[in-house]
Amino acid sequence: MKTSPGAKKERRTTEIGWREYVSLPDIGIASMAAKIDTGARTSALHTADHELLELDGERWIEFSVPSRRPSLRTRVRLLDERSIKNTSGIAEQRPVIRTTLILARRKWHIELSLADREEMKFDLILGRTAIRDHSIVVNPGRSFVLGHPGASKKNKEGATNRRIRAPS
């Protein structure tokens, strides 16, 4: 079947819940609960102790992720500093990085603002720009639909859907 020029390739959508486990491997986070917040444009991670650095003519940021035990300290390239509205609607300057997100078995890059989310229930929110263009539909009535990043989904009987090699 031929498609016309400019026709979009149809992709299967993935349904996720309003809470999902994700991984941020570039930062050293193997699994973390995230709130999927389609009302938020930008994603945000709870961080502390920001230190801006210049290394070989590039801007970097070093920060800690206090919710990790033991506390995680990491350094990544700074993408930008932007005015972003907090949960009260007040604009604040925040550092923004580009990092890898893993959701189930899917992986892509997102922009992530670093913020003080100490008073919030979730250390990580995924805003709509992080999931846009990835054929994702959020079901607000479900949570943790996909399981931990990289994990195989289980069927209704609880068996993992993996291929088992027959003994030779």
CA–CA separation, 7 vs 66, rounded Å? Answer: 46
pLDDT of residue 7 exceeding 70, the answer is: no
CA–CA separation, 98 vs 80, rounded Å? Answer: 9
Neighbours of 103 (CB within 10 A): 23
Q: Higher pLDDT residue, 54 or 154?
A: 54
Using a 10 angstrom Cβ sphere, with 0-12 exposed, 13-18 middle and 19 or more buried, the burial of residue 127 is buried
pLDDT of residue 4 exceeding 80, the answer is: no
Amino acid, res. 39 = G
DSSP at 128: H
Contact present, 122 and 33 (Cβ < 8 Å): yes
pLDDT at 10: 61
Contact present, 60 and 48 (Cβ < 8 Å): no
**Domain chopping of the chain, boundaries:** 23-84+101-139
Q: H/E element holding 129? A: helix 128-131
CA–CA separation, 75 vs 95, rounded Å? Answer: 13
Question: pLDDT by residue (tens digit) across 151-167?
Answer: 655 434 333 333 223 33
CB within 8 Å of 3: residues ≥ 6 apart: 9
Give the closest residue to 43 by CA, choosing from 137, 128, 140: 128
Q: Tell the CATH topology of 23-84+101-139.
A: Cathepsin D, subunit A; domain 1 (2.40.70)
CB within 8 Å of 117: residues ≥ 6 apart: 44, 45, 46, 123, 125
pTM here is 0.79
Q: What is the mean pLDDT of the chain?
A: 84
